[in-house]
Structure 1
Amino acid sequence: MTTSEAAPRPADRADAARDPRSGRPVTVVDTWLGGGEVLATLHVPDGAATTGVVICPPIGYEYTVAYRTLRHLADRLAEQGLAAARYDHPGFGDSTHDVTAESLSRGAAVAAEALRDAGCASIAYVGLGSGALVASLAAASDPAPAALVLWDPAASGRQWLRRQRSIYQIEVGPLAEPAPEDTVEIAGAELPDWLAEQIAALDYDPLVATSLPTLVAVRSGAAGTLPKTLRPVADRLDVVEVPGHENALDVSSIESTIPAASVDVVSAWLAERVGGGAGARVAAPAPVVTARAAFDGAEYEESLRRLGPHSLFAVETRPAGGADDLPIVVLHNGSAEHRIGTTRYQVELARRFAAFGIRSLRVDRRGTGESAPVVADEPNLLFTQEWLDDGADVLDALDLPREKVGVVGMCVGSWVGLVAAPSRVAFVAALAVNDHRVVPQAPQAPHEGVDPVEGAQEPTPALRDRLVAVAKRRLPYPLLLALASRGVVQFAEPNLRRALAAGTDVVVLLSPSDAEIFRAHRGPHAVSRLQRTPGRLTVLEHPAGDHALYSPGIRRRAVDEAFAAAVRAFRIAR
């Protein structure tokens, strides 16, 4: 793989004096490391620093829900005079390299190298959840690690893997599809057999942990226990209880919150044990904005961009040397999930598009991944006007004719595609649609549920659902449609009609659970009524799998149908 530091477009380069996301006096640089194989973000303090901290991410779904927490930690470290590096494991997230035997060690190594190149004299390692196993491995490989933090650590690689496989079976349920040969399906990731075996073999080395300052930050109460291999040396470690992790790693991304008090404990310990000193000013590296690699023999390049008034983070993929006027597909995540776990299908889809002369843009909406400031009690923006505005802002930044733009979205991402600005795109591929609201809801405080309709003084959910069910059975369709168009009830037709009436083609892919909701919202009746609209509607039901696309068959179908929709809309020969 080779990289080039091409001149970035104005929105590409992060502010070199102040973090554009938080306004804090630190420099935050999004960049490629390791010759383009690892996507990383460096947080550099505005002043001297002697120590850099490599933040080793968890694996699979844990990383999905922990992403904003790790960003918050990196900001806190930089505020306290410690440089920090976050990264996606090679072969995971937005990193470009395929999974290899070194995937779990390579990312930490190149992040440490980048911090040393910036001027850090020593390196500490932090790992959260399953990332603690990676941090322990990284510290063991470093000839002179400064410190190690095992933060809410997984018990062991074997126990963690067993639990993740169980969660997968529970989440997908009886409609789970067989895993591809020689792979292991877990919650949020598809692992080659050999990588699963490698993870199962991971554990903590007490000799490493006792040879340097080591913090083991465990959960409060009975849930907080030391990993078994470290119990004999517990008196030689700094063991503390940290609160808040019951709502940080063990819940859905919709419900997840940042354990701010826990972040403070970890950052304060590092500042005390390895901070300070008479270090030189750490130099923020110039961001490498373009990386080049190949997919199925076709070369592509990926550029890091910032878009719109809210500086939304995005990764653009295009054929190597491709022009700015090539057609482009905007890829919207489901929920507030970064491209970790099942959402990584976007990365494969983007590179597949490039092989056929199509650009793509995978975007973090506000409150997701790298977009917008991280705050401890940040609101839940699911199905809000803010996300519709983000969808429109991306199209404004592209400033292309509609026949050259398409949208692929999953779950709430498909809602954004159908509702934000459907008249400005050629097609919308709506994957795993399970919500057909017309009126956006207000931002929700952490732990608040998602109301079907925004409004005050609503009945309790159980009573409301019963009333809506009775109304849908007894009221005539035109009256129900009028109510749905005003956001009183949910029907499939209004959002589909808005896009189709504008001449936008729509492809809908439904899992079995999505199809059940689609029928409850009178989707089949809507399909028959929408046959004569200017846009073409295609509704596809996958016979197995789950809404979250954990199951490999429906995830593969999602990639294939989204690709076919783009090829058809842009009239590209296959």
Structure 2
Amino acid sequence: MATQLYPSKDILYSPQATWFGDEVSPMLGWYHPAKLRDAGGSRQCGVVLCPPFGHEYMVSYLAYKHLANQLARAGFDVFFFDYGNTGDAADADVVPDRISQWQENIRQAAAQLRQMAGVQHIALFGLRLGGLLAASVAQDIDARAMLLMAPVISGRAYAREMLVLRNMSSINRVSDLALDTEPHSEHKSQRDSQRNLQHSVAHAVTDDELTGYEFSAITRSSLGKLDLLKMPVPAMPVFIQTRDDISGQEAKLANAWHHHDHALHLSDMPGYAAMMTEDAHDTVVPMAIWESMQSWLSRYFPLVSIDSSAYPLTRDVAGIAFNGHVITEELLEFEGMFGIVSHQAGADPKALPTVILCNIGANHHVGNHRLYVTLARTLACHGFHVLRFDKSGIGYSKATPDDRENDVHAASGVDDVSSAMYFMQGKYHSPSFVLAGLCSGAYLSYMAALNDERVSGLVLMNQLTYRWQEGDTIDARRKNTIKSSHFYLHAIAKIDTWKRIFKGQVDLRQITGNMLRRIGKRVRTRWQLLVVNLMHNNFFLGRVARNFRNMEARGTELLLIYDASDTAVDVMTEQLGRHASLLGRSERIRLEIFNGADHTFTPRWAQGALADLISKHLHKRFNAAAADAAK
């Protein structure tokens, strides 16, 4: 039974999301209160978790949550947060130097934790860039301990490394090819303007971005001034965890700091590489390292008894300035899942459908390169209520029914989307819904919409599969996946491609086999189109094409978006015919293809163009529908 001293664990000890910081540019943080009953008391020490940057932030997000839980169970109060202009935080464009901004954000997070938990001491944890930033402000916040995992030693070297990564990226090579060479004409029919590919103008990646994130010259210059080896030796206990994929400079840093009177522990436990993977789906939480860090930190902050534990107030609503508008964002939880609703203050939730954004793979609700944050706020500027949420097993939401995390294609995902719609109906009286997603998010949106008449619109971006069977795995799909035919037709003309073939660096057998299968499937779809046109009967269509036709027939708006070189184009062609010709002629079907955007729309120009395209299309279609209904 819950007591006055120890209220219900479910209420008191659950991580709580809260907005904090400046009113005009708030940040989102997760407060993990110390689990007093489990630990046997409080350590009167709060730990601020400083995240890394960009892709490293995305793939380590789950691991950070587990570290916070590990520390909270041991009696530490923990705060994990997003820097300004990252994650769910607001964009503060008045601060061009992100390094000084993020240093101030750490100070604000430490002050927030002191206020919420009433702790006497603060410790800092940082991974990669988070470690460098944490060390740079440790003295400012009077930190009493520091834990660094594979910290960036030299900001200058890190900036150079990131620029090399950017220059090596394939997105820097802008394609000038298109799938449809027919010139666009203002005199085309309305059907053609909806169906034929309207190729976005390709843009080069700017010097001020890195894999989809802002990385300006001012930020790089400020970063170059930070160097752990040149900083004063910390007057506090320090735990340094090395990386196990390449030889780093952690040992050199430990030697430079060892002469100080305070304890320094250098750990070479494995686990870094398994956590920092290319895809969040593959990340492995380094629990052994987290347990080692918790055990080490506990030695310096013994447990003390406290008489009571008052639960702090959290801030659930924030006003966020975005593109000249003020967007209200509300934190919410339903059936154990976390989400954020974006809308303009005073916007009528019953006037337009509510848009629900479904997770991209195992990435939490901000989306790759913050794509979903940008999309949600852009749509909110057009009058929509938008929910970006984490389905079961992702981010801070509950685990799947079989107690799994990062299960991208879990069957429970369809039920989660349905629960999200019921919740939005109850809280905001949403009249209908537009489901949107990229890659696996598109698959989940498609599956949830099949038999749910509440879905009045679908936005599917680079959908790679239309059917996921029991026993399928992402790894197996990857091994059998090749790039788009468009990509290979372009690559075959390059001398570098032939050099790689002769060196045995290209699996020509797999590519040839898959290309032949693609040709066979395309022949089949052409035969289906011929028979359907002759017989005027959908019976001869494949299952996927029939599903889309049925949804269109019930009035569902369909917006299909692809990158020209993505495999998803060929997958779509195999199921729906070239230019989705098997779907027939309807104003409710629109197909758009980008050039040079890549699978997750990494370039910042592509993110902006995508958000602009989707918001304007939905605004036009559903405002027109509302006007027709009012007549």
TM category, shorter: 0.7 to 0.9
CA contact (8 A) 1:379 1:444 kept: no
Match of 1:563 among 615, 621, 631: 615
Partner in structure 2 of residue 74 of structure 1: 68
Structure 1 residue 204: Cα displacement:
1.6
Partner in structure 2 of residue 364 of structure 1: 390
SS in 2 for 1:274: coil
Q: 1: CA distance between counterparts of 2:167 and 2:7?
A: 45
Percentage of matched positions with identical amino acids: 24
Residue correspondence of structure 1 range 227-246 to structure 2 within 5 A: 231-234=255-258, 236=260, 237-246=264-273
Structure 1 residue 351: Cα displacement:
2.4
Letter in 2 for 1:344: R
SS in 1 for 2:283: coil
Q: Structure 1 unaligned runs (5+)?
A: 1-14, 454-459, 482-489
Q: 1:340 to 1:300 in 2, by over 3 A?
A: closer
Partner in structure 2 of residue 147 of structure 1: 145
Match of 2:18 among 19, 31, 34: 31
Q: 1:190 to 1:443 in 2, by over 3 A?
A: farther
Partner in structure 1 of residue 533 of structure 2: none
Structure 1 residue 215: Cα displacement:
0.6
Q: 2: CA distance between counterparts of 1:374 and 1:299?
A: 35
Structure 1 residue 212: Cα displacement:
0.6
CA RMSD after TM alignment: 3.6
Q: 1:405 to 1:174 in 2, by over 3 A?
A: same
Q: 1: CA distance between counterparts of 2:167 and 2:544?
A: 30
Q: 2: CA distance between counterparts of 1:493 and 1:209?
A: 65
Q: TM-score, normalised by structure 1?
A: 0.82
CA contact (8 A) 2:394 2:405 kept: no
Q: Which has the larger radius of gyration?
A: 2
CA contact (8 A) 1:178 1:552 kept: no
Partner in structure 2 of residue 457 of structure 1: none
Letter in 2 for 1:406: V
Structure 1 residue 305: Cα displacement:
0.8
Q: 2: CA distance between counterparts of 1:17 and 1:463?
A: 61
1:287 aligns with 2:287: no
Structure 1 residue 205: Cα displacement:
5.4
Letter in 1 for 2:592: L
Partner in structure 1 of residue 162 of structure 2: 164
CA contact (8 A) 1:19 1:28 kept: no
Q: TM-score, normalised by structure 2?
A: 0.76
Q: 1:356 to 1:548 in 2, by over 3 A?
A: closer
Q: 1:355 to 1:187 in 2, by over 3 A?
A: closer
Letter in 2 for 1:550: T
SS in 1 for 2:355: strand
Match of 1:269 among 281, 290, 296: 296
CA contact (8 A) 1:437 1:491 kept: no
Match of 2:444 among 394, 416, 422: 416
Partner in structure 1 of residue 219 of structure 2: 195
Q: 2: CA distance between counterparts of 1:494 and 1:16?
A: 54
Match of 1:223 among 237, 247, 251: 247
CA contact (8 A) 2:208 2:215 kept: yes
SS in 1 for 2:215: strand
Structure 1 residue 269: Cα displacement:
1.6
Residue correspondence of structure 1 range 509-520 to structure 2 within 5 A: 509-514=561-566, 516-518=569-571
Q: 1:319 to 1:479 in 2, by over 3 A?
A: closer
Q: 2: CA distance between counterparts of 1:440 and 1:201?
A: 52
1:437 aligns with 2:426: no
1:350 aligns with 2:380: no
Letter in 1 for 2:313: A
Deviations 1:458-511 (A, max 9, x none): xx9989957844752675767899xxxxxxxx9963554453243211111111
Partner in structure 2 of residue 131 of structure 1: 130
Structure 1 residue 560: Cα displacement:
1.3
CA contact (8 A) 2:132 2:151 kept: yes
Match of 1:212 among 236, 253, 257: 236
Q: 1:480 to 1:203 in 2, by over 3 A?
A: farther
Partner in structure 1 of residue 347 of structure 2: 322
Q: 1:544 to 1:501 in 2, by over 3 A?
A: same
Q: 2: CA distance between counterparts of 1:387 and 1:526?
A: 29
Q: 2: CA distance between counterparts of 1:498 and 1:18?
A: 47
SS in 1 for 2:227: coil
Q: 1:161 to 1:187 in 2, by over 3 A?
A: farther
Q: 2: CA distance between counterparts of 1:315 and 1:284?
A: 22
Partner in structure 2 of residue 10 of structure 1: none
Q: 2: CA distance between counterparts of 1:556 and 1:213?
A: 45
Q: 2: CA distance between counterparts of 1:180 and 1:46?
A: 47
Letter in 1 for 2:581: S
CA contact (8 A) 1:125 1:138 kept: no
SS in 2 for 1:571: helix
Letter in 2 for 1:232: A
Segment drifting more, 335-344 vs 235-244: 335-344
Partner in structure 1 of residue 490 of structure 2: none
Q: 1: CA distance between counterparts of 2:289 and 2:469?
A: 33
CA contact (8 A) 1:383 1:441 kept: no
CA contact (8 A) 2:212 2:604 kept: no
Deviations 1:309-343 (A, max 9, x none): 3x211111111243443432112231111255744
CA contact (8 A) 2:147 2:240 kept: yes
SS in 2 for 1:91: coil
Q: 1:42 to 1:464 in 2, by over 3 A?
A: farther
Deviations 1:149-168 (A, max 9, x none): 11122342233333333334
Q: 1:293 to 1:474 in 2, by over 3 A?
A: closer
Partner in structure 1 of residue 363 of structure 2: 337
Match of 2:521 among 441, 457, 472: 472
Partner in structure 1 of residue 492 of structure 2: none
Q: 1:104 to 1:359 in 2, by over 3 A?
A: same
Letter in 1 for 2:173: L
Letter in 2 for 1:438: R
Structure 1 residue 223: Cα displacement:
3.2
Structure 1 residue 114: Cα displacement:
1.8
1:298 aligns with 2:325: yes
Q: 1:171 to 1:339 in 2, by over 3 A?
A: farther
Aligned length: 534
Letter in 1 for 2:60: A
CA contact (8 A) 1:44 1:84 kept: yes
Structure 1 residue 145: Cα displacement:
0.9
Letter in 2 for 1:420: A
CA contact (8 A) 1:19 1:27 kept: yes
Letter in 1 for 2:152: A
Partner in structure 2 of residue 103 of structure 1: 101
Q: 2: CA distance between counterparts of 1:270 and 1:65?
A: 25
Q: 1: CA distance between counterparts of 2:375 and 2:523?
A: 44
Q: 2: CA distance between counterparts of 1:16 and 1:326?
A: 42
Letter in 2 for 1:286: L
Structure 1 residue 414: Cα displacement:
1.6
Letter in 2 for 1:268: S
Segment drifting more, 545-554 vs 272-281: 272-281
CA contact (8 A) 2:91 2:322 kept: no
CA contact (8 A) 1:438 1:494 kept: no
Q: 1:81 to 1:442 in 2, by over 3 A?
A: farther
CA contact (8 A) 2:522 2:577 kept: no
Partner in structure 1 of residue 458 of structure 2: 428
Deviations 1:184-203 (A, max 9, x none): 22135122331232233332
Q: 1: CA distance between counterparts of 2:137 and 2:151?
A: 15
